[in-house]
Structure formats: structure tokens, C-alpha cells
Structure 1
Amino acid sequence: MNAIVAIITVIVAIILFTSIAYVKAPPNRAAIITGLLKEPRILRGKAGFKIPFFERVDWLEVGQMDISVETEEFIPTSDFINIQVDAIAQVSIDVENGMDIAMRNFLNKNMDEIKTSIAKTLQGNLREIIGTMELKNICQNKAEFSKQVKENAEEDIANLGISIISFNVQNIKDKENLISDLGIDNREKIRKSASIAKADSLKEVSINQAKADNESNTAEIESQTEIAKRENELAIKRAELKTEEDKAKARADATYDIESQRVRKDLEKATQEAEIAKREKEIELQAKEAEVTEKKLDAEIKKKADADRYAEEMKAEAELFKRKKEAEADLFEKEKEAEAIKKKGEAEADAIRMKGIAEAEAMDKKAEAMKKYGEAAILEMLIGVLPDIAKAVAEPISSISDVKIIGSGSQGVSDISGNVPIVMAQVMETVKEATGVDLQDIIHANTYDAKVNRKVEITGSVPIKEQLVGTADPKENADSK
């Protein structure tokens, strides 16, 4: 682990040292390394190392620089004509011979400061050369003028560590427009020479034109004559050729007709043979098509029959499966229903049996009670039955909605309501005749008159009990049975 940490530390240290100490200089810039040695180390277009904290790097532009040189005021020439000149100079650091001087003069200066210093030196040399030349020579020999300025400035510029690549004068102007006047004489001479040259040229053009026209006419006549001859010869030749052509055409037409007849006959024969062959092919094709159609129909019919049979079989199987499942479901439902009916019947039978037992026990208890209480029980029963009898008798009367009285002897509605006791008495009489039980005697048996004066006594409580039990609630008797 410690070895890995040590290796990583060494790698990081190498990377940091390289990033700080490694110096790369392009061709147009020089890296000046100073510090430990007496002489600086110069890197240009290559790379090197510096020792951190002990050496420093400074940069110097060594590429081409364009310097604009212009006289700030009008300078007199040797013939005392004030002019103003602007030029352009291309310079660079003299890497071979003036690097030390350039480092002392321009190191750590920006490009504008370097260009200003060089421009001032060139302006001084430009003034010196202007003062040694006449205006006419300056204007007519700009190249010579530029050369003299360059040669004159090279020594001064070399003292700065700079070399001049080129120096070119661009514009020259003066205060009095004398440069323009110098060209007047030359312009007039040139114009005069041009006019003369133009006139001579026009004259020569006219002479030459006339000669050319004459020669052209002669040539045209000769040409027309020659053309006529050639056309005559051409016409004769055409006639001869036409005759030969007609003969050849006649022979060709005859040959063509004969050949046409032969070709037509051959064509008709070939057409007939082709038609016969075509019909034979059609008949053969129709036979093949009929055979294919028959086989196709057989295949389709057989395939359809197989498909229908398979579909019917599947349908029959599905119906059979469906009926089987429905029968199983119906049987299951019927079994469930029968079981439910059986359980319901058993439950109803148990209920009826229990109800009969309960009713029998109730009747026994009721008979015992009536036997025990005797006349009081019978009387209580009769009294309980009388309201029901009266209600049954009065129900038909209550349903009467309209009463019409006919006759003067009737009391009206009171006669109808008075029928209720009569009907009840008739009911009691009917009960007596049907059952032998006299309800009136039973009721009167407990009165004072019956007890004291008439001495009525009721016997045979058991038969009365049996009659009452037999007539009071026939439904209960039926259920108990």
C-alpha cells in the first residue's frame, strides 16, 4: 500500500513539475530563460525546461511586423518643393545577429511600443533621403527612392536588433499640386502623339479598306463565275444522276414488286401456318385448362366435403358434450331439488306432528278446564259466541246501500234492525234442532227464576263438552286428527 502511495506521489510530482517547468516556444515567438546562468537561454520553435523558482521565462515576438511610416509634416526636396510621403515597411527581429540587442531594447514590451520605436527611426531616414532627391526623380523612380531609404535605415535599425525585410513608398503629395503640373507636358505630348497616330491609323485603314474592297470585288466576280460554272456542271451531273436514279428506281420498283409478291405469299403462308398452329395450341391449352379446372373442382369439392364433415363431427361432438353437461347439470339440480323437497317434507311433517301434539294437548287441557268449571265454562263460551252470531247476522244488513219503503204499516229502517234479535233466536232454534243443545235453556239456567221457581238443572256436561268441541272449531278438530 505504501509503495502504491509512493508511486502515485511521484507521478503527481512529475506532472506538476512538467506543467510548471516545461516551456514550448512557437516559431514566431522566442522564450528567453534567465536566472541561474550568465547568458540567457533562447527557445524558438522548440521546447525546453526551466528550473522553477530559480529561472524565469520572458517572451519576445520575432515574427514579421508591418510598420506604417509617414512624414508628419511636409519635407522639402533638394529642389525645395515640400512633399509628404507615406510608406510601409516589413521588419522583424534579427534572430541571427541582433537577438541580444533586441532583448535589451524590446523584452517585456508590447507590440505597439516596439512598432512605435521602429517607425520613428524609419521616419528620420525617410526625411534624410527626401532632402537629397529632386521631386521629379522621387516621382519617376519610387523604387530607387525606396531602395535608398532602406539602405540608409538599415544601419540605424540594426542598432535596435531589427532587420528590414522590405520598404515601399505608397503615396507622394505636395502643397502646390506641382506633381500634377509635371504631368501636363507629358500628357499633351502623349495626346498629340496619340492624335497623329490615330490619323495615320485611320488613313492606313481607309487605303487598306479600299484595296480590300477592290480585291474583294474581283474575288467575288471570279468566285461567282466559278460558282456558275460549278452549278452548270452540277446541273448536268444531277441530270445524269437523275436518269441513272430513275432507271435504278424502275428496276428497283419492279424488283420490289416481284419481291413483294413473293414475300406476301410467304407471309400469307406463314400466317396461315401460324394461325393453324395457334388454333392447335389454343385447343391444347383449352384441354389442359379443362383438365386443370376439373382437378381443381374435384380438389375443392373434396376439400369442402372434408371440411364440412369435420365441421359436422366437431359440431356433433360439441352438441353431445353440451347435452352431456346439461344432463349432468339437470340431474344434479334434480338431486338437489329432491333432497330439498325431502328435507322440506320432513320438516313440514315434523311441524305438523308437533302442531297436532300441541293442539291435542291444548284440547285436552281445554276439556279438563270445561269439565272442571262446568256451567261457568259453558256460559262463558256461549257469551263469547253471541257477539260473533250477532255480527254475522248484522253483516248482510250493513251491506245495504239503499232502502225503499213500500206500505204504510212499516216502521222503516227500524224494522230491518229489529230483525237482528229475531234472526238470532232463529239461529238458536236451528242449533237446538240440529244438535239437541238448547242455548236459551243454558242461558236461563243460571237465572233466579230458573234456580228458585222452575228448579232447572243442567246435566250431562260431557255431552255438552263433546258438542262444543265438535262444533266450536272444526278446523282445529281436523288438524288434530
Structure 2
Amino acid sequence: MESLFPLIVFSGFGALILAVASVKIVPQKQAWIVERLGKYHRTLYAGLHFIVPFLDVVRAKVSLKEQVLDIPKQEVITKDNVVVRIDAVCYYTVVKPEDAVYNIENLEYAIVQTIQTNLRDIIGGMELDEILSSREKINARIKEVLQGAASSWGILINRVEVKEIEPPSNIVQAMSMLIEADRKKRAMITEAEGKKRAQVLEAEGYKLAKWQEAEAIERIGKAQANALRSVVEATSSPELAAKLLIGGDLVKGIERLAASQNAKFVVLPPSVESLFKLLGEKGGNG
């Protein structure tokens, strides 16, 4: 019995090791590829799993999180023979871990090479101006082409974004000068339109002022005519009415002359009769 005790202890210890080795806990957002005797057996997702020790082996651990892959900058010749430097970034997610492990030897390298190749093809068929204004179009075309190849790799291409398009320095300077010239041109056009508008407004204002002045003169003439008509009707004598109106204007003129700072002496008629006599003489001489 005593000779069997070490064997029992060893057997119990071995069973414990086998039990521990058969338990696998897969973390969240991971997938483990299990092979049995060198052949794909199954995929373990997050949670507690049991495998057969020595027969089952974890071949790979694949992350199911969204992955970010930088695409190195490369030089590409455009349709109008301009050399530009361009880089990008790719966001993808593994949806079939077994395909990502067995269908491609180096997944990230394959993605980089595919995107760079398609970038050269797409940029080579576009002119520089179109490239600089069509980032969304380029992104969509790369994603569309890449998704066709990536479907067999067990991944989903979420988006591909061009980060930077760098034309040659001389092209950049020429574009800056062109933009500055266009900005000055728009400023000059705006200034010219402003001056033209100001001239139009000034002309319209002058026209309105003259129209108002003519209307005022017309109203004064009508008022004077109405006043003369009223005086004639009141006095029944057109001659006397004319003298009265002229006398009123003369009195107003004397008042303005007396109020002037330059006036030294103001000579007035000695009486109202003399004023009428003076008016009568002026009327007779006239």
C-alpha cells in the first residue's frame, strides 16, 4: 500500500495538470484558432472553453477589435504628369478569424500592398486638380476595390482615408500665386461694383433732389398764385393786390437787410403812404 502512494499522488497531480491544461478562458473581443493534430478544428470566442490536451493546440489568437493600419507615403504620377506623395490609413475588422489565419500569410502586409497598388492606379488616372478636390471619391474607390480582395481574408474594410496629398513645392507655390491672384481679382471686382453702385445711388439721389426742388418751386408758384387771387378777390383791384404783394416782399427784404451783420444803415419810408407811393412809382416805371 505504501508503495502505491507515490503513484497515486503522481496520478492525481497529472490529472490536475491535464484538467488545468484543458481549460481555456478567451478574453472579450478575441478569437482563438484551435488545431487538432495539425488540422483546423474550431474557433473559440470569448468565454470558458475545454480542449483535449496534447491533441488540441491553440494555433493563433486573433483580435476582433477594429484595427488601424497606416499606409506609408509613396510617390505617384498623376494623369497630367505631376509627381505627388500620398499616404492613407485603413480601418478594418476581422470577421472570420480562421480565414484571416489560413487564407493569407501576412494580413497587414497584404492590405498595405493592395492599397498602395490601387492608389497608384486611381491617382494615375486623375489630374492634380481633381485629386485635390476628390478625396471622398478616392476613398470610396479604394474601399470598393479592397473589399473584393479582403473578403477571402476574413476581414471587413470599414473605411480607407487618404491622409495627405503632397504636390511638388513648385506646384504648391504656383497654386498659392494663382489663389492670391484670384483673391485680388475678386476684391477688385467687388470694389468696382461698389463704386458703380455708389455712383448709381448718387445719381438717383441727385435726380430725387432735383425732382423735389422742382416740386417745391411748383408748389410755391401755386401758393403765390392762390395768394394773389385771394387778395384780388378781397380788394377787387388787381393793381392794389399786386402792390400789396410787392410791398410784403419789400418789407421782408428790409427785415433781412436789417438783420444782416454787414448792414450799416437802413433807410425806411417815413409812412405807409410813402411806401405805397414808392411802390406806385416803381410800378409806374416798370
Do the structures match in fold with TM over 0.5?
yes
Unpaired runs of 5+ residues, structure 1, are 208-481
Output the CA distance in 2 between the equivalents of 1:85 and 1:76.
10
Q: Which residue of 2 aligns with 1:40?
A: 41
Classify 1:36/1:115 alpha carbon distance in 2 versus 1 (closer, same or farther; 3 Å).
closer
Structure 2 Cα separation of the partners of residues 13 and 122 of structure 1: 52
CA drift of 1:38 comes to: 6.3
- Amino acid of the structure 1 residue aligned with 2:70: S
What 5-or-longer segments of structure 2 have no aligned partner? 202-286
Q: Kindly state the Cα deviation for residue 176 of structure 1 after the two structures are TM-superposed.
A: 5.6
Please tell me the residue identity of whatever aligns with 1:150.
K
Which amino acid counterpart does residue 104 of structure 1 have in structure 2? Y
Give the conservation status (yes or no) of the 8 Å contact 2:87–2:164: yes
2:77–2:83 CA contact under 8 A, matched in 1: yes
Distance change >3 Å, CA 6–CA 22, structure 1 → 2? same
C-alpha separation in 2, matches of 1:194 and 1:18: 82
Equivalent residues of 1:70, 1:86 under 8 A apart: yes
1:150 paired to 2:143: yes
How many angstroms apart in 2 are the aligned matches of 1:150 and 1:53? Answer: 42
Question: Are the equivalent residues in 1 in contact too, given 2:25–2:48 (CA < 8 A)?
Answer: yes
2:117 to 118, 121, 124: 124
**Alignment deviations for residues 47-78 of structure 1 (CA, whole Å, 9 cap, x no partner):** 21110111111223233322221353x32212
What is the identity, as a one-letter code, of the residue corresponding to 1:60?
K
In the TM superposition, residue 79 of structure 1 has moved relative to its aligned partner by 2.1
Task: Decide whether the 8 Å contact of 2:26 with 2:47 is kept in 1.
Answer: yes
Counterpart in the other structure of 1:65? 67
1:103 and 2:96 correspond:
no
After superposition, what is the alpha-carbon deviation per residue over 1:9-57, rounded to whole angstroms, capped at 9, x for unaligned?
8975664233211112223332111116965210122221110111111
Matches within 5 A, 1:408-419: none
Alpha carbons of structure 1 residues 38 and 75: separation in structure 2 relative to 1, 3 Å: closer
Higher-Rg member (1/2): 1
Which whole-Å deviations, capped at 9, do the CAs of 1:266-309 have from their partners, x for residues lacking one? xxxxxxxxxxxxxxxxxxxxxxxxxxxxxxxxxxxxxxxxxxxx
Please state if 1:23 is matched with 2:16.
no
3-state SS, counterpart of residue 40 of structure 1: strand
Task: Name the structure where helix makes up a greater proportion of residues.
Answer: 1
Equivalences for residues 60-459 of structure 1 within 5 A: 60-62=61-63, 63-72=65-74, 74-95=75-96, 99-105=97-103, 114-175=107-168, 177-194=170-187
Superposed displacement of residue 139, structure 1: 0.1
Percent identity between matched residues is 23
* AA matched with 1:22: V
Which letter does structure 1 place at the counterpart of 2:179? Answer: N
TM-score (norm 1): 0.35
User: 1:60 touches 1:103 (CA, 8 Å); kept in 2?
Assistant: no
CA RMSD of aligned residues (A): 3.6
CA–CA distance in structure 2, aligned partners of residues 43 and 193 of structure 1: 65
Report 1 or 2 for greater relative contact order, CA contacts < 8 Å, sequence distance ≥ 6: 2
Note closer, same or farther for the CA distance 1:21–1:126 as it changes in structure 2 (3 Å cut). Answer: same
